[in-house]
Amino acid sequence: MHTGKSVVLFDFDGVVSDTESIYTAFWNSLGKEDFNIGIKDFGQKIKGQTLVQIFEKHFPDEKDRKFIEQKINELECSMPYDYIKGADTFLRALKKAGIPTAIVTSSNARKMEQVHKARPELRSIVDRVLTSEDFTKSKPDPECFLKGMSVLGGTPRTTVVFEDSFHGISAGKASGAFVIGLATTNPRESIEHLCDMVIDDFTEMTPEKLMEILISRK
């Protein structure tokens, strides 16, 4: 018998917030025009990785890192952080139903402060926000989702993870959670074999449907 709480973990970019296309364009431009990295679709390749991980792998020079950080800060200060369709409604419904939730993101705390300025209501409709500072390993390692389960009192069998990126989906599956992929960043056909379920947005998702999924796993 699984005694953990039913909990829900959300990635942020491309799951709660419709930002992935902005980041992809940013990193593609940076990789091609500013640094000529020579990696096709650079923005797609690094999805789900922390900035520290991206720096360690692709930008060893400290001056380059400072330049990129400045550019990212400018970008994130101007983003509207619009919700993926139905995301805020679903989060409010989970809160009302008493189902614990957390955002588990590769973004850093500084970026999430910008998010809270643009979307102050997010603090009241999500129980916890875990950022890159809370983890020692990046997705596809499952550490972030395992920690999310731990802080909310869940277990792999009582947890649903919502993800959009390949790295994030892999991390969710490796954690043992039920993974629902969002076809917001990658085409449905490219992720459906990696997930337990795929949705286009949250318009049809309810706490009742979520509980049906979790009950079927017990």
3-33 pLDDT, tens digit per residue, is 578 999 999 999 999 998 899 899 999 988 8
Q: What is the mean pLDDT of the chain?
A: 93
Quote the pLDDT of residue 1. Answer: 38
User: Stretch 181-199: mean pLDDT, rounded?
Assistant: 95
- Mean pLDDT score, 136-143: 92
Residue 198 or residue 185, greater confidence? 198
Cβ-contact 13, 103 below 8 angstroms: no
Rounded-to-integer distance, Cα 134 and Cα 137, Å? 9
- Cα distances from 195 to residues 58, 149, 160, in angstroms, run 29, 19, 11
pLDDT at 218: 66
CA neighbor of 10 nearest in space, from 137, 92, 117, 130: 130
The residue count for the chain: 218
Q: Prior bond to 140 cis, omega within 30?
A: yes
pLDDT in tens, 16-75: 999 988 998 999 999 888 888 888 889 888 887 788 889 999 999 999 999 999 999 999
SS3 content of the chain, % helix, strand, coil (to 5): 50, 15, 35
What is the reported pTM? 0.88
Residue 138 pLDDT class (50, 70, 90 cuts): confident
